[in-house]
Amino acid sequence: MYIRKASRTVRGKTYFNYLLVESHLTPKGPRQKVICSLGDLSPRPKEQWLELARKLENALTGQQDLFAAAPDAELEALVAKVKAGPRRRRARQEQAALAASVEPGEERIAVLTGAVRSEQSREAGPVHVGYQFWQRLGIDSILQEAGLRERARQLTCAMTLNRLIHPASELAMPDWIRSTALPDILGVDFQELAEDALYRHLDKLHPRRQAIEAALA
């Protein structure tokens, strides 16, 4: 959000008005929407307008200022003015449009957001990036040429990404794998994976090490 200065001349006298404006993207490019009129801000120095716009945006979105000083009566009055203006009318219009969009036979339910909790959240970003490089290097094909079956190649991928992202012992590695999105990315159920399987897999990789390293080089 930012503040735009507008003026108009009536009978030779110029009047100034300040508008709270919000930028947003449209299919035709960026557009500006006037949120509300703030009246005459001339008593407040121009260099404070940007700060005022930031405080207004924070207040309207519920963001608290960490270093807020004493309450600003002017800011509180402007916030009340904005909330009572076009935003409230727009909210009513959106609610009406939502009600009109319900198809016959459909059912809308209310969700208590405070009662919603997140369970079994898993890390996705680092393993996703790591897997993209795994694919770009063609490691899966190299392992296949080295005689490793699909399950062995999947374990190799998981163990390699562990070394890259969050190095852990074979004992701790199964829990780490299950804490990431690797099971979804690889399409494998690692729920029953134990460290013994990883030790056995390393025994399979070791004799093929020279061929794998040569192919990678």
Cα gap 171→156, rounded to integer Å: 16
Show the CA angle centred on residue 134, arms to residues 133 and 138, nearest 5°: 110
Q: pTM above the 0.85 mark?
A: no
Strands 2-10 and 13-26: antiparallel
Report if residue 45 sits inside a domain: yes
- Asked if 11 and 71 sit in the same domain, the reply is yes
pLDDT at 138: 94
Per residue in 67-123, pLDDT (tens digit) is 455 556 666 666 666 666 555 555 555 555 555 555 666 666 666 666 777 777 788
Number of domains comprising the chain: 2
Vertex 118: Cα angle to 113 and 123 (nearest 5)? 135
pLDDT more than 70, % of the chain: 61
Regarding whether 92 and 144 lie in a shared domain, the answer is no
User: Is 50 domain-assigned?
Assistant: yes
The residue range of the domain holding 173 is 125-216
Q: Are residues 155 and 198 located together in one domain of the fold? A: yes
H/E segment holding residue 38? strand 29-39
**C-alpha span between 3 and 167 (Å, rounded):** 50
Q: Which residues contact 146 (CB under 8 A, 6 or more apart)?
A: 208, 211, 212, 215
Judgement on whether residues 12 and 94 belong to the same structural domain of the protein: yes
